[in-house]
Amino acid sequence: MKKTILLLLLTIQFAFAQQPYYNDVDLNLTGQDLYFELQAKIDNASNSFNYGDVRDTVKITDEDTSNSNNVLLVYGFDDSGSCKTDRTRDKDDYGGSVCEYNREHVFARSNANPSMGDADNSSNGIVADPHNIRPSDQQMNGDRGNKKFTDGSGNSGNTSGNWYPGDEWKGDVARMMMYMYTRYGNRCLPSLNGTGATQGSTDMLQIYLQWNIEDPVSAFEDQRNPHLQTVYGNRNPFIDNPYLATIIWGGEPAEDRWGLFSTESFTENQFIVYPNPFNEQIWIQNNSSIDSELAAVIYDVTGRIVFETSFSETKSNLNIATLSEGMYLLEISNSTNKVVKRIIKQ
């Protein structure tokens, strides 16, 4: 059994290696420890990249995947009406006039503490961080201003004096805010640029964690990291794997794009385990058609069984408060299939 568990751990480590940028990051860490580990990693970026460079960079990072002549405009949603609401725009229509696009700081410059300051083409540092800048219609950019993000539905717009980024953009925004807070710490505290309750050891807004789940990474968003790693020197980890946010801040599980947390013969997502990391208990949500009895066995990293039970309910609770902090493997099985998921006690 110990050999089986070790093989599973090696499978997990192989999944890590699929993203070479993170090879020197200890992805076995959790909570605040992983937060600081990623902070050290992404802080290693270009000191010479400036705000002027962003103008050409967005033509690549924000290129419309359906039309290489265009860029997509953050908060945009309708190409058939007023140009203010345009979703796409010709790459060359840049400027400050009506129906032109400019550079939007998604974490508003004045909301940082201290402020990011003025942005001119020679400025570098936080104000020129391309992970925080998107093309935006200049009128839409002005309407957003420095309003804090808040929950909503449908298209982008003002919501009780705050700003909803729109259904298409809320996941992008959430992952950008996670990056900014991870890299710049309390200078870009999520509550400075958003509203609502926080959770986790480093105060992430719950709304960002929810948006991270509800609006998964798209092919458009995926094209950012490879280019920015080349020209700027770092990546946004939460685009590469949204589940990193779950490991750090907890809550319902986001998409695990690297397959770090499971080795399975059941169909993917037949069993959802949450919260993960956990404090005292976890829930197993059975989304499969299996209504017979299932076994749940938890192993520590040496392969020793530390908890076992059986269940048949659609939603089952495991009270495992007595486990020490650390990583465990949860095996859910019946007579023919199994799924093994990594869980973390914090």
Has residue 266 got a pLDDT over 90?
no
Q: How confident is the model over 121-147, as a mean pLDDT?
A: 97
Has residue 201 got a pLDDT over 50?
yes
Per-residue b/e over 31-54, b at no fewer than 16 CB within 10 Å?
beebbebbeebbeebbeebbbebb
In this prediction, residue 76 carries a pLDDT of 98
- Residue 318, strand partner residues: 282
Phi, psi of 174 (to 5 degrees): -60, -45
Has residue 261 got a pLDDT over 90?
no
For the entire predicted model, the pTM comes to 0.77
Contact indicator for 75, 169 with CB cutoff of 8 Å:
yes
* Long-range contacts of 220-223, Cβ-Cβ distance < 8 Å, separation of 24 or more: 220/62, 220/64, 220/65, 220/72, 221/171, 221/172, 221/175, 223/60, 223/61, 223/63, 223/65
State the amino acid at position 8 in one-letter form: L
Domains of the chain: 2-16+258-345 (2.60.40.3080), 30-248 (no CATH)
Question: Which of 35-49, 97-111, 201-215, 329-343 is least confident?
Answer: 329-343
In this prediction, residue 302 carries a pLDDT of 65
H or E, element range at 89: strand 88-90
In this prediction, residue 327 carries a pLDDT of 85
Helix (H, G, I), strand (E, B) or coil at 93: coil
Contact indicator for 201, 31 with CB cutoff of 8 Å:
yes
pLDDT digits (tens, 9 = 90+) for 267-299: 657 888 999 899 999 999 988 877 778 999 998
Has residue 47 got a pLDDT over 80?
yes
Secondary structure letter of residue 190 according to DSSP? G
Contact indicator for 97, 79 with CB cutoff of 8 Å:
no
pLDDT digits (tens, 9 = 90+) for 310-339: 988 888 999 999 999 888 889 888 877 778
Higher pLDDT, 168 or 313: 168
Calculate what percentage of the chain has a pLDDT beyond 90: 69
Contact indicator for 105, 119 with CB cutoff of 8 Å:
yes
